[in-house]
Structure 1
Amino acid sequence: MPKKKKIGSYPNVMIIMSLTAALFLIGFCGLLVIQSKKLVSIIKQNIEVRVFLNKELSKAGQDSVLNIIKPMPYVLSSTEVAPITFVSKEEAAKEFIDGTKEDFTTFLGENPLRDSYRVKIGEDFFEEAKLQQIKKDLEKIKGVYEVVYQEDLADNINRNVTKIYTVLASFALIMLVIIVLLVNNTIKLAIYSQRFLIRSMQLVGATNGFIQRPYIMRGAVQGLIGGALAGCLLIGLQQIAIRNVEGLASLQEYDKLIVLVGVVLLLGMVVGIASTYQSLSRYLRMALDDLY
């Protein structure tokens, strides 16, 4: 004989599972955005402007050029990577030979390359127009032969990044709408099973506030539990990915991950409270005949 449900029973597990699934998907979109922004930042930090020096420039002249470049506002300020690196013509020749597998010195008889400084540029100056101006400014320095960078690369990266963020934002917005509707319908079904209990409370004189209070508190707790479970799933997924995907650890920003989990928790509570309140209000105003 099937077990009968108790009067006033409430599908807590179903609601929490729906909230967890919904909040996890939203949190996953947020995690993708955080890591994509970090990836773009790393890419930008590795873009260099190469400052080639005159061949006859002395060591004192090289230091003079370096001292002029160092305080420039467009030079990357970072403790993680060296913003300015000196590359001798011998090191440049070795890099070229290692990359092409061809030793040009054997038929030229000399090394035609130049000593250079490789300058990393701050993200605020990562635009084609600003890089062009930096190139002009550096070429005015005494002892500088030529300044080279990958032209149009900045604009191409910025254009592609904008497209990626637009796609992610659109996907997150669509998912948010679908998820809110899904959770709202789940809670609405749960409240539907309570409609006669709600009417019984009204008949014995309970006010709307008195009736709503325990349901809204329950909705807040369910949202909090769903958010906590979704946060745990996000952290677990992140740790599994770090262990199995090489280089992914460098993209992690744990302070932003903590903020994301906090947002998921807050969103869970807001959705739980709002959906419960909206569904309750409908049944509190409903006529007796409509309950059937």
Structure 2
Amino acid sequence: MSSSFDRFQKRRLISSYFSVVLSVFLVLFLLGILGLFIINSKKLADDFKEKIAMTVFFKNEANDSILKAFSKELKVAPYAKSTVYVTKEQAAKQHTDIIGEDFMTFLGENPLQNSFDIHLKADYVEKDSIAKVEKKLRLNPMISDIVYDKQLVNLVNDNIKKVSMWILIISGFLTFIAVLLINSSLRLSIHSNRFIIKTMQMVGATKSFIRKPFVIRSIKLGMLGATLAIIALIGVLIYVETSFPDLGILDNKVLIAGVLLSVLGIGVLITWLSTHFATQKFLNLRTDDLY
């Protein structure tokens, strides 16, 4: 009978440990995914912004020396990430390929102009900044027109601000849920040992002495859950990098390492605090209240 009861208690203990590790793993994995998304969201937003092109058209009077001088100016310009020079002949060919008909056969001449497609750096793809760049470029008397999608620029920036706000809200909500879930699992684990805690207290053991083994055990379980979460996050990073190499998700290794270390730190911190307060509660209870 005694050995059967011991086996039952052992199974309960293992089940309790497993639930704690599983809770820590799932919560920290979700927080880690969110953290990785946050550090890469700016990069993804910047990449999208830098795909928006500003096209600068030159008058037909602009000769090769003027165009070359402008090209050199763009290479050192702080706002230009990349530029592509498109001759009017290349533009005509592109139009022909798109519409499937050579429009110059009935026009008799090429009405298009030489142009530069300028991809601005992400910091300059803002309503005010891009307007300043446009104003500066228009000072060149050889430039006939500057075209870019103003509505798209405003839409992108507005949506990025909205997404960033929701990310912060979701981050706060998930962190709160994480603390509740892990705290709940640890409280249930310690609740099953409440009689042992009270017995040790009755024979004269100090609160810190009673609390110490429970805290150490919980920290170990937290570290185990956090380690499993880190392994899973590394697996996700490798999968995304292999499947979508253009995203360059592993480029910022310092921030990624920071997120993984934060996952480990949060796992240890939450389990330590939760265990400390849970044991304190049972230490302060009267013996009659244990039932």
Q: Under a length normalisation based on structure 1, what TM-score does the superposition of the two structures give?
A: 0.88
Indicate whether 1:48 and 2:53 are aligned.
yes
Q: Which residue pairs with 1:167 in the alignment?
A: 166
Q: For residues 281 and 8 of structure 1, what CA distance do their matches in structure 2 show?
A: 23
| Aligned pair partner of 1:64 in 59, 65, 69 | 69
State the alpha-carbon separation in 2 of the partners of residues 69 and 218 from structure 1: 62
Gap regions ≥5 residues in structure 1: 77-82
**The one of 5, 9, 13 aligned to 2:9:** 5
Query: Deviation of residue 276 (structure 1)?
Result: 0.8
Distance 1:248 1:181 in 2: 38
Aligned ranges 1:259-274 → 2 under 5 Å: 259-274=258-273
Alignment of 1:64-213 (within 5 A): 64-76=69-81, 83-213=82-212
Report if the CA contact (8 A) 1:62-1:143 is conserved: no
Change (3 A) 1:98 1:38: farther
| 2:149 aligned counterpart, secondary structure | coil
**Kept in 1: contact 2:56–2:147 (CA 8 A):** yes
Letter in 1 for 2:174: M
Greater fraction helix: 2
Residue of structure 2 in register with 1:286 after alignment: 285
SS in 1 for 2:9: coil
2:41 counterpart of 1:36 = yes
Indicate the percent of aligned positions where both proteins have the same amino acid.
31
Aligned-partner Cα distance in 2 for 1:228–1:248: 28
How big is each residue's C-alpha offset from its partner over 1:90-141, in whole Å with a ceiling of 9 and x where there is no partner? 2222222333333322222222111112222122222122212211110112
In the alignment, structure 2 segments of 5+ residues that lack a partner are none
Cα distance change on mapping 1:72 and 1:93 into 2, 3 Å = same
How far off its partner does 1:167 sit? 2.4
* Aligned partners of 2:44 and 2:247 also within 8 Å: no
The superposition leaves residues 223-252 of structure 1 with CA deviations (integer Å, 9 ceiling, x where unpaired) of 2221111121122233334555x5664444
Distance in structure 2 (CA, Å) of the matches to 1:100 and 1:278: 72
The alpha-carbon deviation at position 15 of structure 1 amounts to 0.7
The answer for the alignment partner of 1:79 in structure 2 is none
Q: Shift of residue 170 of structure 1?
A: 2.2
SS at match of 2:76: coil
